[in-house]
C-alpha cells in the first residue's frame, strides 16, 4: 500500500515539477535576468563639460547630418572620425562632407593604405601623402587592429606592428605634431577558445568572426602588444593614443607600467566602460592618477543614448547598471559609476584632447 501511495505521489509531482521547475530547459543565450536591486538611478543627458570624442567611425558620409544632430543632443562639442582612408583618397571626400555639414565640429584622421606595403618606399610615400593631407585639414593618424592580425604583404606574411617599413609614417607624425590613435589586438577573451571558460561567450558565440584564436594568427595578443610598445619606445617624439585603455583594459596594473615607462603614450576609454565599470575602485584610482593621459572616446557612431551611459559611468556613483547601450553587450555583467572629481572630468572630456590636437587656443 505504501508503494502505491508513493507511486501516486510521483505521478502528482511530475506535472508540478514540469510547470514550476524548468531549470534545465532554459538555454543560456535566452537567459535575460532582471535585477531585483533597488538602487539610485541618475539620468544625465548632458555632460558637465563640453566633450571631444577622440575615437569614432563616421565614414558613412550619408549619415553626417544625423551624427551632428546626435552630438547636439548629447552635448558633444567635437567628434573625431578615424575613417579618413588613404585608399582611393577617401579622406578627401570625408574632409569635404564633414566640413560642409559640421564646420569645425568634425575632425578627421588619416588611415594608411597597407595594401601597398610591399611597394618600394611605401613608408616614405605614405608619409608624404599624410603631410599633404594634414595641410588639407587632417589632424591625426589612425591604425586599426588589422595590423598585426590580418593584413599581409605580397609574401603572404602578416605584417607586425613594428614592421620597419612603417617607421617613416610614425616619424612623420612626430614631425607634424599629430597624434596616432592605434588599436592593436582585441579583448583578452577574443584571443582564447570560445568555450565554457570564455567570459564573453555570449558576444563571441553570436559573432564568431570576432575571435582571433587559432594557428592562422601567427602573433599572440602578448606579442602584438610587445610590437606596439617597441614602436612607442622607438619614436619618443610621436604621441600615441593606445586605444581601448591601452589595448588591455582587463589589466590596469600593466597599463600603469606602460604609462610610467612611456611619456609619449596616452589612452582612451572607448568601448571599454564595460571593463572599467566592473572594477570601479581600481578604475577610479587609475583615472585620477593618470588624469593627464586619458581621453574620452566611444567607438560608437554618434548616438545620444550611448553618450549618456558614458556620462553616468564617469560622473555618478550609481550602482549595477547596464553598459550595453554604450556600445553593445560585451559581457554578462553590470557596471558601477566612478564619480570622478570635476577637475579630472574636464581633462578627460576635452582638455587632454585639445592639448594633443594642438587646439588649446580653441578652449
**Helix, strand, or coil here: 268?**
strand
Distance CA 350, CA 338 (A): 18
pLDDT for res 328: 80
pLDDT for res 30: 81
pLDDT for res 137: 98
Strand order in the sheet with 265-268: 51-56, 76-85, 106-111, 141-143, 180-182, 240-242, 265-268, 294-295
Is the model's pLDDT at 9 over the cut of 50? no
Asked whether 165 and 342 are in contact (CB, 8 A), the reply is no
pLDDT for res 6: 52
More confident: 36 or 107:
107
pLDDT for res 59: 98
pLDDT for res 363: 56
Q: Which of 10-19, 209-218, 273-282, 349-358 has the lowest mean pLDDT?
A: 10-19
Domains with residue ranges and CATH for the chain: 50-303+341-362 (3.20.20.140)
Give CA separation, 299 vs 10, 56, 168, 270, in Å. Answer: 57, 4, 27, 5
Is the model's pLDDT at 268 over the cut of 80? yes
Q: Tell me how many helices (H) and strands (E) the chain has.
A: 14, 8
Angle in degrees, 0-180, between the axes of helices 122-136 and 167-176, rounded to the nearest 10: 30
pLDDT for res 250: 98
Rounded to an integer, the average pLDDT of 51-65 is 98
Asked whether 107 and 58 are in contact (CB, 8 A), the reply is no
- Confidence grade of residue 338 (pLDDT, cut at 50, 70, 90): very high
pLDDT for res 24: 66
Q: Tell which phi-psi region holds residue 75, choosing left (phi > 0), alpha (psi between -120 and 50) or beta.
A: left
Is the model's pLDDT at 306 over the cut of 50? yes
Residue 281: partners with Cβ closer than 8 Å, 6 or more residues away: none
Rounded to an integer, the average pLDDT of 128-135 is 98
Per residue in 298-336, is it b (16+ CB within 10 Å) or e — as a string?
bbbbbbbebbbbbbbbbbbebeebebebbbeebbeebbb
Residue whose C-alpha is closest to residue 190's, from 220, 215, 157, 152 = 220
pLDDT for res 3: 54
SS (HEC) of 114-141: HHHCCCCCHHHHHHHHHHHHHHHCCCCE
- Sign of the C-alpha dihedral computed for residues 346, 109, 103 and 244 taken in this order: negative
pTM for the complete prediction? 0.91
Is the model's pLDDT at 13 over the cut of 60? no
Is the model's pLDDT at 33 over the cut of 70? yes
Rounded to an integer, the average pLDDT of 132-144 is 98
- Confidence grade of residue 17 (pLDDT, cut at 50, 70, 90): very low
**Helix, strand, or coil here: 28?**
helix
pLDDT for res 28: 75
Q: Give the Cβ contact number of residue 48 at 10 Å.
A: 15
pLDDT for res 22: 55
Residue owning grid cell 575632425:
107
Distance CA 233, CA 227 (A): 10
164-187 pLDDT, tens digit per residue, is 999 999 999 999 999 999 999 999
**Helix, strand, or coil here: 84?**
strand
- Confidence grade of residue 325 (pLDDT, cut at 50, 70, 90): very high
Residue 298: partners with Cβ closer than 8 Å, 6 or more residues away: 53, 55, 56, 270, 271, 306, 307, 310, 326, 327
- Confidence grade of residue 349 (pLDDT, cut at 50, 70, 90): very high
Q: Give the mean pLDDT of the chain.
A: 93
Burial (Cβ within 10 Å: 0-12, 13-18, ≥19) of residue 243: buried
213-262 pLDDT, tens digit per residue, is 999 999 999 999 999 999 999 999 999 999 999 999 999 999 999 999 99
pLDDT for res 4: 47
More confident: 341 or 31:
341
Rounded to an integer, the average pLDDT of 101-106 is 98
Distance CA 112, CA 141 (A): 8
Residues of the chain above pLDDT 90, percent = 86
Amino acid at each position: 500500500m505504501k508503494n502505491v501511495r508513493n507511486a501516486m505521489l510521483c505521478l502528482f509531482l511530475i506535472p508540478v515539477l514540469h510547470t514550476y521547475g524548468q531549470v534545465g530547459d532554459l538555454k543560456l543565450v535566452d537567459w535575460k535576468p532582471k535585477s531585483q536591486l533597488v538602487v539610485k538611478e541618475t539620468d544625465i543627458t548632458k555632460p558637465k563639460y563640453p566633450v571631444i570624442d577622440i575615437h569614432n567611425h563616421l565614414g558613412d558620409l550619408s549619415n553626417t547630418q544625423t551624427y551632428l544632430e546626435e552630438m547636439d543632443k548629447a552635448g558633444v562639442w567635437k567628434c573625431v572620425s578615424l575613417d579618413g582612408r588613404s585608399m582611393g583618397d577617401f579622406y578627401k571626400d570625408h574632409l569635404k562632407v564633414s566640413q560642409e555639414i559640421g564646420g569645425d565640429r568634425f575632425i578627421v584622421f588619416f588611415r594608411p593604405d597597407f595594401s601597398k606595403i610591399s611597394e618600394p618606399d611605401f613608408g616614405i610615400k605614405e608619409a608624404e601623402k599624410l603631410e599633404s593631407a594634414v595641410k588639407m585639414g587632417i589632424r591625426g593618424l589612425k591604425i586599426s587592429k588589422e595590423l598585426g592580425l590580418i593584413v599581409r604583404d605580397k609574401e603572404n606574411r602578416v605584417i607586425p606592428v613594428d614592421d620597419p617599413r612603417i617607421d617613416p609614417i610614425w616619424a612623420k607624425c612626430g614631425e607634424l605634431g599629430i597624434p596616432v590613435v592605434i588599436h592593436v589586438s582585441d579583448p583578452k577573451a577574443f584571443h582564447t577558445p570560445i568555450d565554457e571558460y570564455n567570459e564573453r561567450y555570449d558576444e563571441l558565440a553570436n559573432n564568431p568572426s570576432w575571435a582571433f584564436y587559432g594557428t592562422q594568427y601567427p602573433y599572440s595578443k602578448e606579442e602584438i602588444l610587445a610590437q606596439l610598445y617597441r614602436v612607442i619606445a622607438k619614436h619618443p617624439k610621436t604621441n600615441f593614443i593606445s586605444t581601448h585603455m591601452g589595448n588591455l583594459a582587463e589589466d590596469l596594473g600593466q597599463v600603469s607600467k606602460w604609462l610610467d615607462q612611456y611619456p609619449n603614450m596616452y589612452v582612451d576609454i572607448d568601448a571599454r566602460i564595460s571593463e572599467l565599470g566592473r572594477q570601479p575602485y581600481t578604475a577610479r584610482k587609475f583615472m585620477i592618477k593618470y588624469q593627464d593621459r586619458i581621453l574620452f572616446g566611444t567607438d560608437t557612431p554618434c548616438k545620444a543614448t550611448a553618450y549618456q551611459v558614458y556620462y553616468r559611468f564617469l560622473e555618478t556613483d550609481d550602482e549595477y547598471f547596464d553598459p550595453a547601450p554604450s556600445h553593445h553587450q560585451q559581457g554578462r555583467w553590470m557596471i558601477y559609476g566612478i564619480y570622478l572629481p570635476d577637475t579630472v572630468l574636464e581633462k578627460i572630456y576635452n582638455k587632454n584632447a585639445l592639448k594633443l590636437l594642438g587646439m588649446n587656443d580653441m578652449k
